[in-house]
Amino acid sequence: MKNISEVLEGVKTIGIGGHVRPDGDCVGSCMALYLYIRTYFPDVDVSVYLDHPKPIFGHIDHIDDIKTEVEEGREFDLFITCDVSARDRLAVAGDAFDHAAKTVCIDHHVSNPGFADVNYIRGEVSSCCEVLYGLLDPDKVNRPIATAVYTGMIHDTGVFQYSSTSPDTMRIAGELMKQEIPFSKIIDESFYEKTYLQLQVMGRVLAESILLQNGKCTVGYLRRRDMEFYGVEGSDLDGIVSQLRLTRGVEVAIFIYETETQHFKVSLRSNGKVDVSKVAVFFGGGGHTRAAGCDLEGSMYDVINNLTAEIEKQFCEEEA
Ligand code: AMP
Ligand code: MN
Ligand code: MN
């Protein structure tokens, strides 16, 4: 596939969907594709399905068009997933995907097995938004579409800082800026800004974090009862694992929070020596070399021990 128009030929109904707990890249890519089809293929009936996106994405045009449930019996001519690394990571619209006449997967996860009829997966690219941009007609990327693409790019590159950021990433960001997008506002309000409560919780996690493996691994955690005490959800905890990763000497940062009793959501970040996607895949999750995640059950200590043992294997391989 060279251009998205190739798969849109003769198609009358389209569903678009992203992954569970949608992040900026997921919301940005789904919305950019939605806005593009809506604007330039007005005869097509297009719907976008996502879990409730956070208010920080309110600057994206038509964000309120997002549907959180698929209408009963809906069968699409085409279903397109964006930023979804595996079929079981698709949120809300799993059945609609299975029943669609044709499916397309646009993604950038190295662990993606290619679960659709047409797969456009570029594991070396920093964001799904960047992958998607390559499939769009650049002259048709207007300000609202550019805003959505830019949002995804800054979120998955940590504002053009992670090693996945390439000259192409910066070139595309430059093209998007030509549309006079409010880039400073997007970066501050969707990426850096936190509520007072979110910062208090981050402070607590950092204060209680532990250093393991001769200072090469750091672990932050939050129990259900503490989340209830503060009144925070998983979506309030973004940015904590990135902060942990910045500890001097640390190679791997782990952040764990309890979703329900003895069920944990795990986020892993690496500074390059350890491939955390391998660790996540080992535990049934996935992701990228330097950012990955999984869900684990058991006691907090077992979860930490199991994860660090798997990380230790890579440290040993490296020394061998
Ligand atoms: P997170 O730590 O949730 O920000 O996720 C980092 C990366 O790992 C993202 O690209 C996610 O898509 C991926 N990821 C996180 N959790 C899982 C999971 N349970 N299964 C597969 N991939 C995951
Ligand atoms: Mn994502
Ligand atoms: Mn992504």
> Closest Cα to atom 20, ligand 1: which residue?
285
Ligand 1 within 6 A of CB of 27: no
Judged against a pLDDT cut of 90, whether residue 78 lies above it is answered with yes
Give the residue-averaged pLDDT of 231-247: 96
Give the residue-averaged pLDDT of 169-180: 98
Terminal C-alpha separation, the chain: 42
pLDDT tens by residue, 50-72: 999 899 999 999 999 999 999 99
Q: What is the mean pLDDT of the chain?
A: 97
Ligand 1 within 6 A of CB of 265: no
Q: Strands 78-82, 45-49: parallel, antiparallel or unpaired by DSSP? A: unpaired
Give the residue-averaged pLDDT of 126-130: 98
Alpha-carbon distance of 59 to 123, in angstroms, equals 28
Q: Which two tokens stand for residue 17?
A: 């969907």
Alpha-carbon distance of 221 to 44, in angstroms, equals 46
pLDDT tens by residue, 188-225: 999 999 999 999 999 999 999 999 999 999 999 999 99
Residue from 219, 221, 202, 199 nearest 211 by CA: 219
- When pLDDT is cut at 50, 70 and 90, the band that residue 122 belongs to is very high
> Given this model, what pLDDT does residue 67 score?
98
Judged against a pLDDT cut of 90, whether residue 110 lies above it is answered with no
Ligand 1 within 6 A of CB of 291: yes
Judged against a pLDDT cut of 90, whether residue 318 lies above it is answered with no
Domains in the chain, start-ordered, CATH in brackets? 5-192 (3.90.1640.10), 196-319 (3.10.310.30)
pLDDT tens by residue, 245-267: 999 999 999 999 999 999 999 99
Given the structure tokens 């789904």, which residue do they identify? 30
- Ligand 2 centroid – CA 230 distance (Å): 26
| Residues whose CB falls within 8 Å of the CB of residue 311, separated by 6 or more in sequence, listed in order | 213, 217, 252, 274, 276, 279
- When pLDDT is cut at 50, 70 and 90, the band that residue 319 belongs to is confident
DSSP string, 119-151: EEE-TTSS-HHHHHHTTS-GGG--HHHHHHHHH
